[in-house]
Structure 1
């Protein structure tokens, strides 16, 4: 054994274990703390809790656990506490794992051989490491040439010329650890002169070790003891992000078959081979098929395989976090709304939906005095969506003002990056736990039962700020460095591909640790351009999505004087932002109906614009769809939507109110199907509102906004139930948004009017 220790050597520290002095082994490779049952019987201890478990170590040795016990580990009078697993056999008496290391803070200074412990209150103590003489040791060498992928752990086979044994201590070679690969110290088993070791490649490229490489030494009696000494400030942090990266704060239990592993890499390998869903391979190939470089594609696929649980939707999940959603209603008395009358078919649908929610553990039986009515909303695919109408609950709920990030600040960060990944949470709200004391407020009744939600239901007020608060906490320091989240729109951004692999691994680790699930169909992985928050981002350029401006940009050339005048009146709404508007539009003013030349009660004749008139028309469209008028959304300013409908289509404009006036952000122009053209005016006007709000969801969700319509009956859309069945179902689709409907005169709604009468986007059926 070498005479000097390294940072990867095993360390024994002198401590009091439940008031008994003893040497304990510090093992960063173990996720749990273990005490030998024979040693436990010799010391004072609290109640022993029997349990039966077995763990597979990195070298495939099985450790049988027979119970748990609470231990006090005291170093120089500084007390720490940990629940330890009790093993029937162990190579040492006490092995302290990463559960204890991650609970406290350790500092290690190799040059002075000092180990410093800091508890949760900030108190510190220091011990000096003293290595004793070693008696039998043997060199451990790599059996075959091995290549370890970048940022990966691998199990390697090594040769050891010793008799079969399971009680040997492996100490890695310092020369090997200086080659950018890490060999943790481990307790190993030798069979037929061979053993298995865990090796970690910390670099961003594959690393090859030739056969017969000296990996370290193995011995059966290597002891490092410690004596107390004064604290010195010079130290190197021992518990680092790298240790956390390779060691989860759990027992590494397979979430499918519940088998436990001491090595995280062993668990990932087991999942990939045995327990991941069969469709995951196709999903990973689909997510990475756009990557041309084979080596780059392989690196990304390795990360996706490593965290495949994120895409496993076979079982519903709740995120693992201390925060939950609260519904603050002050001292208001419970509100009870009796269930609506239903047809037998609707009752059957409600029963089926509640059974699904019960199986997903999203709801539970309730005795709550609160009750909100159940409503059924038919979706585009013909299925029925189960909803609860929480309007009355929302009216008395105190608003949560947790801030959303400024969209312009997000774009500032993204403009300097080259590689992007966007993630979409699967049923994001249903992954958020609901505060136990507020669950009764979400109660609803069916024909036979009374239930309440255990997770955040759709339609409850303050869902967006809660989601933002939780995602911010989970992403932690990574936010604004290489990851951002705007509600459930998460983006990972990097300047180089190697950085992106590392950043992707880090964020997936955080989401994996907190038990999130992702929707693979909506995720985009490692690409050089993305559509994010309504804008297209590619290599430093940020432009509005074509979807934002196509409604105006692709409007056909007017063919009648009336069409020209509508376009001109719509453009005049923004004339204060357009320099020399009168000069640019002057060729079109002659089509004003007040001009006697074009006043006629007969059907207008089709005609063609002159070259000068066509140029004026195109120039105005260009100005209205570029940054000469359009602005990036500013979340500190109020949003406004103006909508309109005609017999041909629907139109809308998303605006923000600046001190100098309303500036447009996006345009919508969509045709109506023949069936939709036969709808009543209020249905067409309401449909325009629904499509505009849902189209611009990423801007509006989580913000209060104003909706302006020249159809006065829609002022009461969100205040009371609608007699019209279509409008009532659409109202329920919008209940998660916070907005006020205002009536405006038709003369102030000119641009939506023009867009609805010159529709661009193809019509689409809407079953509602």
Structure 2
């Protein structure tokens, strides 16, 4: 759909926060087996992909049943009911006020909060209990956490000074569900070639067609011309013993290997697979020859491994596991 460029502002449901409108667009949204349409505003930044407002609710006579956790919409004589999409594996991290806070009347302040995440892009949801007993206003928003700290905007709409104690939970943060960076330029010919190579060992033509139809829906994953980067995942943490950070000098390398190492490093930087870092930890890298006469970069983390607290998870007996899972199943996959 074409975008109709406009310049205006809208007020959010809190009654005072405004957003700049960049344009409007007519959207078609699939709600179950019903196709709905709506005129949507385009803004520069939003904490979610889309917000459906009262215009959509009134147009399709939406009914939200919180007890049964369903939402239903009607278009003419037809009514469609949908179940709430609840992520049961979503982990909430409380956002606590770092210091005592005094908010003057009619003022908006940005305050530091602590979150039990070293670095992440998260979604913030204000505490319902706090909003019930305090007039302080907060918004659902997207926060960037750096070194266990982020900032939240608070507004005091009253004519009195409001106080908040240190350590109070202002709300909860959640890490958004896993997603991939969008890239419209997909090399479908290469993707199809890789898919065909994968399904070639399948001899049953009916099964081969079914597998291919599934893989075709995710063709981007088989386009190996560009690196696929996963974002919005839980930050990785390595717990170490109380030892000084290990540091090692680089291994001896020939000029040819140094050039190859430089090219590999630049490629990793280009695709954001690595980033420059200033740290007391240092591990040497070396090149190992692959079967196709190219180089694979390997980092020697032996010293770091020696002081790392291991994540010990007892492995189940594989034969017993297959026996439990194998009732009626013939195909199994695994992650290496």
Q: TM tier, shorter chain?
A: 0.5 to 0.7
After superposition, give the CA deviation of every residue in 1:65-105 in whole Å (9 maximum; x if it has no partner): 332798xxxxxxxxxxx858579xx9x62559xxxxxxxxx
1:217 aligned residue: none
Partner of 2:292: 381
Q: Quick check: 2:285–2:297 contact (8 Å CA) kept in 1?
A: yes
What is the match of residue 362 of structure 1?
273
Aligned equivalent of 1:412: 323
Residue 48 of structure 1 corresponds to 19
Contact 1:335/1:371 (8 A) holds in 2: yes
Corresponding residue to 1:67 among 43, 66, 70? 43
1:576-587 aligned within 5 A = none
TM-score, normalised with respect to structure 1: 0.26
Q: CA deviation at 1:306?
A: 1.6
SS of alignment partner, residue 256 of structure 2: helix
**Hey, what's the Cα distance between the residues in 1 that align with 2:9 and 2:56?**
11
Of 93, 107, 119, 2:55 maps to 93
Between the aligned partners of 2:214 and 2:77, the Cα distance in structure 1 is 27
Structure 2 unmatched runs, 5+: 1-7, 30-34, 87-175
Q: How has the CA–CA distance of structure 1 residues 66 and 303 changed in structure 2, closer, same or farther, with 3 Å as cutoff?
A: same
SS of the residue 1:340 aligns to: coil
Provide the residue aligned with 1:332 in structure 2.
243
Q: Does 1:57 align with 2:7?
A: no
Deviations 1:353-412 (A, max 9, x none): 111211231221122122112222222322222112111111111121123332122221
Higher helix proportion: 1
8 Å CA contact 1:65, 1:85 repeated in 2: no
- Out of 182, 193, 210, the position equivalent to 1:255 is 182
The residue number in structure 1 matching 2:204 is 292
Greater Rg by CA: 1
Shift in CA distance, 417/338, structure 1 to aligned 2, threshold 3 Å: same
- Over 3 Å counting, the alpha-carbon distance change for 1:398 and 1:39 in structure 2 is closer
**Correspondent of 2:307 among 367, 385, 396:** 396
Q: Distance in 2 between matches of 1:420 and 1:287?
A: 15
Q: Which residue of 1 aligns with 2:65?
A: 115
| Conserved? CA contact 1:68–1:85, under 8 Å | no
Residue 325 (structure 1) shift: 3.1
Q: From 301, 304, 313, give the equivalent of 2:224.
A: 313
Q: Distance in 2 between matches of 1:86 and 1:322?
A: 23
Shift of 1:414: 4.6
**Matches of 2:241 and 2:262, distance apart in 1:** 33
Is structure 2 residue 83 aligned with structure 1 residue 238? Answer: yes
The aligned runs of 1:617-696 (5 Å cut-off) are: none
Give 3-state SS (helix, strand or coil) of 1:334's partner: coil
Distance 1:95 1:65, change over 3 A: same
Which aligned pairs between 1:414-433 and structure 2 lie closer than 5 A? 414-422=325-333
Distance 1:339 1:254 in 2: 34
The answer to whether the Cα contact below 8 Å between 2:10 and 2:20 also exists between their aligned partners in 1 is no
Q: Does the aligned pair in 1 maintain the 2:285–2:298 contact within 8 Å?
A: yes
C-alpha distance 403-308 of structure 1, shift in aligned 2 (>3 A) = farther
Return the match for 1:170 from 75, 100, 108. Answer: 75
What is the TM-score with the length of structure 2 in the denominator? 0.53
Alignment partner, residue 716 of structure 1:
none
The aligned length equals: 230
SS of the equivalent of 1:387 reads strand
